[in-house]
Every structure is written in C-alpha cells, then in structure tokens.
Amino acid sequence: MTITPSRIFEVHEAQDGRKRRLYTLNAVPGTAVYGEMLIPTPRGEFREWNAGKSKLASYILKGAQGIGMRKGSSVLYLGCATGTTVSHVSDIIGEEGMVFAVDISPIVMRDMLFLAEKRGNIIPILENAFHVDRLAKRISAADVLFQDVAQRNQVEIFLRNADLFLKDRGYGLLAVKARSIDVAAKPRDIFKAVRKQLEAKMTIIDYRELDPFQKDHCMFMVKK
C-alpha cells in the first residue's frame, strides 16, 4: 500500500484493496487522537483519517474537488466536539494556520483542551455558535467556515457566521444531518429545503450526500 498526495491540499491517500483511505501528516508524531492508525514513512508519520468518524473525510471520499483549506488557512470550525476532525484540519493548515474550534458542550471541550494544548494552531472556544456577538469578541475573520452542529437552526447559525466571519471569496462547508431538522420528513426533502435557504444568501458550488459513511447526511460547499 503506497501513500500518495491526493487532489486535496495536504491530504494523502492510498488504495487498500477496494477501499480508498485518507491520511494527513501528523503534526504531533507518535500521538493518535481517536485511536486512528499511525503510519511512519520516510516523508513523516501519516495519520489515517477515518471517514466513519469524520464527515469532512467522507466528503472527500465522495469525490469533493477541494475543501478550501491549505497550509496557512484560518478556519472557523463550529461544532468541534472532541476534535476528531479538527485534528486533521490542524494537520492540513500547519503551523502557519489556525483553527477556531467552537463547541457549546463543556463535556466535549475537555478533550478539545487537551488536544489544543498539544497543537499550537488550535484555538478552543466554549460558546454557542448562534451567539455571533460573543464569538466576535473571541475570533477574527477566517478563510474557511466549517459547521457540523446537528441542530434544528443550523442553517441560520451557518448564515450568521458566514456573514460576519467569513472573508470575501472564502469557502463555507455545511454538514447537514436530516434527522436533526425533522425526524419524520424524507432526508432528500430536507436537503432541498436547506439548499433553498442557502441559495438565497450564498452561491452553492458543491453538494454531496455522505452515505454510506454517514446515513442521511449531506455536505454543502458554498462560496462567499
């Protein structure tokens, strides 16, 4: 199995039988974050990026052309949880970049704090992402907005944050979980409704459903 650069900046891949696997170069060699595989190579240590646990990885495996991030990017990440995905974002953007990792739950923020202490480009923030007035006192404008909060009002949260914090021509990624908006409706109908809400304010440049990695989830990519 050989690991080669993928078409996404700083993301690497390997074909393992019929499975495609993703990797990032571990910024903290020797340390796994969520039990993922570490693979030492002459180019550095790769960390496997598990699509079953990360919607951003699923999005890439489902054929994304880009995720808007590269070395040095600043990222506003809403709904960071314990930092599974944030850890890979941290690998991607490197020392020059920074990721504001926001979550409302003090319980998940404990793990996030330990992660941030090991990685100098993570800025952890315990806050409700809906309260952009409070976030405005904690962060600066970002090149990329990523959101995965699984909340009923997630589109409103996304639009507010994009409006205030996303730089012009910046990219936004919105992960949508159908069940968190309406458990009874058909996921496709929910995704359609979200598309409408987004289109009213921003330009959608990509859309992908994330099954089989995450059932009834999709990702929207927008440009400001």
Ligand X SMILES: C[S@@+](CC[C@H](N)C(=O)[O-])C[C@H]1O[C@@H](n2cnc3c(N)ncnc32)[C@H](O)[C@@H]1O
The binding site for ligand X (CB under 6 A) comprises: 54-55, 78-79, 81, 84-85, 102-105, 108, 128-130, 148-151
Which does residue 149 touch among other proteins, ligand X, none (CB within 5 to 8 A, set by kind)?
ligand X
Gyration radius (Cα) of the chain, Å: 17
Q: Indicate the residue among 2 and 221 with the shorter CB distance to ligand X.
A: 221
Q: Contact residues for other proteins (CB under 8 A)?
A: 74, 98, 100, 106-107, 109-110, 113, 116-117, 120-126, 132-133, 136-142, 163-165, 167-168, 183-184
Which does residue 167 touch among other proteins, ligand X, none (CB within 5 to 8 A, set by kind)?
other proteins
Which does residue 108 touch among other proteins, ligand X, none (CB within 5 to 8 A, set by kind)?
ligand X
Contact 149, 127 (CB under 8 A): no
Q: How far is the CB of 27 from ligand X (least distance, A)?
A: 17
Which does residue 193 touch among ligand X, other proteins, none (CB within 5 to 8 A, set by kind)?
none
Q: What letters, b where the CB count within 10 A reaches 16 and e where it falls short, cover 85-98? A: bbbbbbbbbbeebb
- How far apart CA 172 and CA 156 sit, in angstroms, is 13
- How far apart CA 20 and CA 35 sit, in angstroms, is 19
Q: Indicate the residue among 74 and 84 with the shorter CB distance to ligand X.
A: 84
Q: How many angstroms from the chain centroid is the CA of residue 69? A: 10
DSSP 3-state assignment of 146? strand
- Closest CB to ligand X belongs to which residue? 79
Distances from the Cα of 15 to the Cα of 3, 22, 24, 63, 187, angstroms: 8, 9, 15, 15, 31
DSSP-assigned states of every residue in 10-54: T-EEEEETTEEEEEEE-SSTT--SSS--EEEETTEEEEEE-TTT-
Q: How far is the CB of 96 from ligand X (least distance, A)?
A: 23
Give residue for tokens 């458990």. 183
Q: Indicate the residue among 25 and 129 with the shorter CB distance to ligand X.
A: 129
Which does residue 50 touch among other proteins, ligand X, none (CB within 5 to 8 A, set by kind)?
none
Which does residue 85 touch among ligand X, other proteins, none (CB within 5 to 8 A, set by kind)?
ligand X
Q: How far is the CB of 33 from other proteins (least distance, A)?
A: 18
Q: Indicate the residue among 40 and 217 with the shorter CB distance to ligand X.
A: 217
